[in-house]
Structure 1
Amino acid sequence: MTTKKANVFKKAKYAEHQLVHLLKSNNREAFEFLYDNYSPSLYGVILKVVKSEETAADVLQDTFLKIWKNIDTYHSEKGTLFTWILNVARNTAIDKLRVEVKSEKLVKLHSIDEEVYASLSFSPAHITMDLKTIVEGLLPERQALIDLVYFQGYTHEEAAEYLCLPLGTVKSRIRKALQELREVFAVQNLNLNAA
């Protein structure tokens, strides 16, 4: 008899305001109803964003967890419940995609740095070797930018996009790095002239 009641309850349809009230009261059956009735639609939206069924399944779970934790932030005067949960799903999928892309870029940057440094250490020109040594004295974030822009030929915009940094930050760091390098070369020129 309990099973029949549970099945009838799951099949029951709620008016949106009732469902929202039950969800905000942390009613488990209402949440199961929400999951059963809305997960296929949300999964489809998420899959269009992340393009991977496995990732989409993970993002769907994250979405419902966010809905459960943040249902109190839903306000019916701003839109329907479905619109709200659809936005939660879409934003969660976009966040997941951003994290994956940023992670891939960092791995790629690290492997490119290793390849570039390895190739420079095998047969660099004498002057490049001295310059590379001097650049290694800069802060790591400035080293990376000088390497990308001056050794690899990236534009400031490409370097900003590649490192996921604002363009202004890239330009500021390069300016500071060049100021430091000018000071180093000024000291070296003084030493050469004195000798």
Structure 2
Amino acid sequence: MEQIHKYSEPELVQMLQMQDQQAFSYLYDNYAAALNGVIYRMVEDKELAEDILQDAFVKIWNNFAQYDSSKGRLFTWMINLTRNLTIDTLRSKGYKKQQKISSDENAVSNVQDQSFGADKFDTMGLQKHLANLRPEQRSIIDMAYFKGYTQDEIAKHTGIPLGTVKTRMRAAIIELRKILQ
């Protein structure tokens, strides 16, 4: 019987740098649900979220040499990589064309599976922490990190000046750091 090992972040990073398959399996087993929750919240399509998740883990594996622990935690790096990949997918011409083709085609069968949304992502407890932010900060964080909007898009969508969006986002991130530490 194989013994399940729990790795510390430095151990895991070191093993991943040596391209250890067991460490990568551990990484997938322990982080896939949270990353999938982030992706699903942005795309609201279970199959697309799963495809992006697979692409994200391939990218994590292939680009692990770029991870620098002095710049932040492993999970933060993975979430940013995954979020950026999701945004790139949403902005791609192929995705936009597919959305136009199937927008009304599957209206009846587009029932959301909530098990991949906020509840899965909340294994990290972020929802309760976001609740501690002021509403204007919370909505900007939600739009930027969970829906994939740029700061410029948030400004246009909400009618708030870009400088105000940037200020609120910075204040919200500072507040979240305080809460999470």
Normalised to the residue count of structure 2, the TM-score between the two structures is 0.52
Q: Which residue of 1 aligns with 2:40?
A: 47
SS of the equivalent of 1:29 reads helix
In structure 1, runs of 5+ residues without a counterpart are: 109-195
Question: Which residues of structure 2 form unaligned runs of 5+?
Answer: 102-181
Q: Which residue of 2 aligns with 1:93?
A: 86
Deviations 1:117-141 (A, max 9, x none): xxxxxxxxxxxxxxxxxxxxxxxxx
Paired-residue identity, %: 44
CA contact (8 A) 2:89 2:95 kept: no
Matches within 5 A, 1:45-194: 45-100=38-93, 103-104=96-97
Of residues 11, 22, 25, the one that matches 1:18 is 11
Deviation at residue 51 of structure 1 after TM alignment = 1.3
In structure 2, relative to structure 1, the CA distance for the partners of 1:102 and 1:80 (3 Å cut) is: same
- In 2, the alpha carbon distance for the partners of 1:87 and 1:45 equals 10
For 1:72 and 1:96, locate their aligned partners in 2 and report how far apart those are by CA, in whole Å.
23
CA-to-aligned-CA distance 1:65-92 (integer Å, 9 cap, x gap)? 0000000000111000000001111111
Higher helix share: 1
Query: What is the DSSP-based 3-state SS (H/G/I as helix, E as strand, rest coil) of the residue aligned with 1:12?
Result: coil
Q: Deviations over 1:59-117 (max 9, x none)?
A: 00000000000000001110000000011111111111111577429x89xxxxxxxxx
Question: Which 4+ stretches in 1 moved above 3 angstroms?
Answer: 100-103
Residue identity in the other structure for 1:73: Q
Distance 1:94 1:71, change over 3 A: same
* Number of residue pairs the alignment of both structures matches: 100
Letter in 2 for 1:89: T
Contact 1:63 1:88 in 2 (8 A): yes
CA distance in 2, matches of 1:63, 1:31: 13
Q: Which amino acid aligns with 2:49?
A: A
From the CA coordinates, give the structure whose radius of gyration is larger: 1
Given that residues 50 and 94 in structure 1 are in contact (C-alpha distance below 8 angstroms), is that contact kept between their aligned partners in structure 2? no
Residue equivalent to 2:25: 32
Equivalent residues of 1:74, 1:81 under 8 A apart: yes
